[in-house]
């Protein structure tokens, strides 16, 4: 069969393209890279999948620990609820206990994000105090599964309570105190008064956002209204704010 010059030229061009692609692929292989990798050798899609799977396992474990209890929940149940392979729990968290640590780390990350989206200060201390109480009530309600899991764990393992206090409670109390110190009337009050109002925000949030609606089955909206009513009494009876 006789081939024309044009046909031969096309074949050579095609071979050159194939050779070029192979050479480029070989060059990337020498650098330890694949077509789907970045220059640092990581695969963005794989990294996203890993993060998504870890979050799915953490959320599934949180829900199961809160509803069934930590001790009786199995890693197989967690994996099934998350839609992941059971082996990933051991790969990512070194077992069920590691999920507890991941939950605290996840919570700390969320708290940090919350602090980064602070509301603008209210016009006076009383309004700010009431708004902080409402916010803490909502936060306690949103954290109900987390609290269901870790309050019992803190009772049987004091180390868990210590970590929660240092990493979560103390940090949030400091942020609340800084907001209250913004107001001149509060600054002129004693340090004890500032501390008392700070603790009141946390206690009202916990009692009316978690204890009453979750543990005692009270109406959530009614509990929130009661928290605001108690907060109004507290701020109205303090002599520092008599002029407000």
**98-125 confidence digits (pLDDT tens):** 999 899 988 888 877 776 566 788 888 8
Q: Report the alpha-carbon distance of residue 11 to residue 5 in Å, rounded.
A: 10
Band (pLDDT 50/70/90 cuts) for residue 9 is very low
DSSP annotation of 207: I
Residue closest to 244 by CA, chosen among 135, 134, 127 = 127
Mean local confidence (pLDDT), 55-60: 96
**Lowest mean pLDDT segment, chosen from 46-55, 132-141, 178-187, 235-244:** 235-244
The DSSP string of 53-67 is: HHHHHHHHHHHHHHH
* pLDDT reported for residue 72: 95
Q: Report the alpha-carbon distance of residue 34 to residue 56 in Å, rounded.
A: 28
pLDDT of residue 97 exceeding 70 = yes
Give ∠ CA 218-211-214 in degrees, rounded to 5.
Answer: 55
* pLDDT reported for residue 114: 72
pLDDT of residue 206 exceeding 90 = yes
Contact between residue 227 and residue 204 where contact means Cβ atoms under 8 Å apart: yes
Residue closest to 240 by CA, chosen among 196, 175, 202 = 196
Residue closest to 181 by CA, chosen among 172, 167, 193, 166 = 193
Give ∠ CA 203-152-198 in degrees, rounded to 5.
Answer: 15
* Assigned token pair, 19: 């050779």
**Lowest mean pLDDT segment, chosen from 30-44, 94-108, 141-155, 229-243:** 30-44
Q: Report the alpha-carbon distance of residue 193 to residue 238 in Å, rounded.
A: 9
Cα–Cα distance list, 206 to 98, 165, 212 (Å): 26, 14, 9
User: Does the predicted TM-score (pTM) go above 0.75?
Assistant: no
Buried b (16+ CB within 10 A) or exposed e, 18-28: eeeeeeeeeee
- The packing angle between helices 44-68 and 75-82, to 10°, is 120
* Percent above pLDDT 90 for the chain: 48
CATH number of 45-96: 1.10.10.60
């Amino acid at each position: 069969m006789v081939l024309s010059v044009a046909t031969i030229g096309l074949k050579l061009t095609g071979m050159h393209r194939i050779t070029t692609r192979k050479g480029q692929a070989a060059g990337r292989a020498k650098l330890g890279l694949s077509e789907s990798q970045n220059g640092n050798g990581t695969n963005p899609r794989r990294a996203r999948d890993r993060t998504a799977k870890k979050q799915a396992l953490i959320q599934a474990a949180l829900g199961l620990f809160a509803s069934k209890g930590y001790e009786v929940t199995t890693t197989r149940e967690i994996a099934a609820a998350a839609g992941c392979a059971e082996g990933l729990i051991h790969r990512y968290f070194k077992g069920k206990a590691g999920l507890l640590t991941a939950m605290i780390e996840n919570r700390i990350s969320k708290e940090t994000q919350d602090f980064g989206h602070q509301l603008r200060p209210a016009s006076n201390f009383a309004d700010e105090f009431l708004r902080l109480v409402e916010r803490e009530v909502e936060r306690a309600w949103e954290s109900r599964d987390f609290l269901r899991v870790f309050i019992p764990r803190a009772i049987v393992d004091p180390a868990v309570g210590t970590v929660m206090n240092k990493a979560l409670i103390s940090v949030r109390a400091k942020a609340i105190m800084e907001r209250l110190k913004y107001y001149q009337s509060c600054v002129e009050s004693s340090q004890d008064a500032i501390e008392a109002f700070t603790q009141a925000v946390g206690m009202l949030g916990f009692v009316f956002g978690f204890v009453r609606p979750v543990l005692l089955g009270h109406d959530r909206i009614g509990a929130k209204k009661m928290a605001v009513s108690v907060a109004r009494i507290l701020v109205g009876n303090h002599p520092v704010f008599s002029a407000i």
